[in-house]
Amino acid sequence: MTKATNPAANRIGAAPQGSRAFALPNLLTYSRIAAVPIVAACLFATSIYGFGYWLRWVALFVFVAAALTDLVDGWVARTYGELSSLGRMLDPIADKLLVGATLLFLAFDDTIRGWSMWAAFIILCREILVSGLREYLAELRVSVPVSRLAKWKTVLQNVAVGFLVAGPAGDQVLPGATWTGISLLWIAAVLTIYTGFDYFRAGIRHFVDER
């Protein structure tokens, strides 16, 4: 009696499921997650233990390198056909961890303070809500494509956080670096609300239909 075979597993060039975990796009995503505690430790050590501002430059370098992997891993996955369910799950998680943790530590060391805290609050809340909506819509097999404006929002958000990571160290080289970061953060917060509307609209529509 012939055993049943899985046609997908017999396709030429199909990679074993286990090897997908170590595909280049996933390795880049892992590196972005690994960058989170490094950036946080640099900001923490500068603020609490009074280490020199050179640590903020280290944090900036790691943050920028990690943010760039978000652009590279998607391109590599699409170009070389290395898309995987693991990568689709981890990629947005890595993005939110990097930005969210960095914003928290920037608030902790008073780089972000006063009214500017609301910009960070808006960004964090939107990311959490959108993550929940994505899970809800995924169960309904509803896909909400990422708009071009949302992609620009992410770029602007990362640039803003980069300026803020440099903070006082950046002000010594480029006066007004922190102020520039705060201004860009507010713009990113406004775009965050606007671009999040597509997810909320899709979620509310399907929630009403279910009722």
List, in order of start, the domains of the chain with CATH numbers.
20-210 (1.20.120.1760)
Q: Which two tokens stand for residue 23?
A: 């595909």
Q: Which amino acid is at 58?
A: V
In one letter, which amino acid is 195?
Answer: T
The per-residue pLDDT for 50 is 85
Task: Fill in the amino acid letter for 76.
Answer: V
pLDDT at 207: 61
pLDDT of residue 107: 95
- Mean pLDDT per 10-residue interval, the chain, length 211 residues: 44 49 87 96 92 94 94 82 80 91 95 96 90 72 74 92 96 95 96 82 64 56
Helix axes 177-210, 148-173, angle to 10 degrees: 160
pLDDT at 8 (0 to 100) = 41
| pLDDT recorded at residue 11 | 40
Structure tokens at 196: 């999040």
Per-residue model confidence (pLDDT) at position 90: 87
Helix, strand, coil shares, percent, the chain, to 5: 80, 0, 20
Residues in CB range of 147: below 8 A, 6 or more apart: 195, 198
Question: Could you tell me if 98 and 36 are in contact, meaning their C-beta atoms sit under 8 angstroms apart?
Answer: yes
Contact in structure between 13 and 76 (CB atoms under 8 Å) = no
Chain position carrying tokens 């280049």: 24
| 3-state SS class at 12 | coil
